[in-house]
């Protein structure tokens, strides 16, 4: 995806890619609550549509979701099998 491929193969299925994937080295995988809020708040509002929290302890993800929603940011904590249209 980082190479910009227009088609990827997942479990034997060829799927079209309709996303632009960006990479950043600006965020530690072990950022704390405030680090994550600061990171999200640094993204221009015009390019931020939703935040998906997919890794972490449930209590911590719920706290982060609450903090981001207070900043009027759409946040989801998806359950396995949920589908979102982007």
Q: pLDDT per residue over 40-67, tens digit each?
A: 888 887 778 889 999 899 999 999 999 9
Q: Which of 81, 26, 29, 27 minimizes the C-alpha distance to 56? A: 29
> Hey, which residues does 75 pair with through a beta bridge?
51
Residue 1 lies in a domain: no
Closest CA relative to residue 37, chosen from 66, 15, 17, 3? 66
Q: Determine, yes or no, domain membership for 12.
A: yes
In a domain, 36, yes or no: yes
Residue 1, pLDDT above cutoff 80? yes
Percent of the chain predicted with pLDDT > 70:
93
Domain presence at residue 2? no
pTM over 0.75: no
Counting the structural domains of the chain, the total is 1
State the residue range of the domain holding 27.
7-76
Helix (H, G, I), strand (E, B), or coil: what is residue 83? Answer: coil
Query: Is residue 81 a part of any domain in this protein?
Result: no
Report the alpha-carbon distance of residue 34 to residue 40 in Å, rounded: 10
């Amino acid at each position: 995806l980082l190479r910009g491929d227009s088609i990827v193969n997942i479990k034997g299925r060829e799927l079209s890619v309709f996303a632009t994937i960006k990479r950043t080295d600006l965020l530690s995988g072990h950022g704390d609550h405030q680090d994550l809020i600061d990171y999200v708040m640094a993204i221009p509002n015009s390019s931020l549509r939703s935040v998906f929290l997919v890794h972490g302890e449930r209590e911590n993800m719920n706290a982060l979701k609450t903090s981001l929603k207070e900043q009027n940011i759409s946040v989801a904590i998806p359950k396995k099998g949920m589908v979102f249209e982007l």
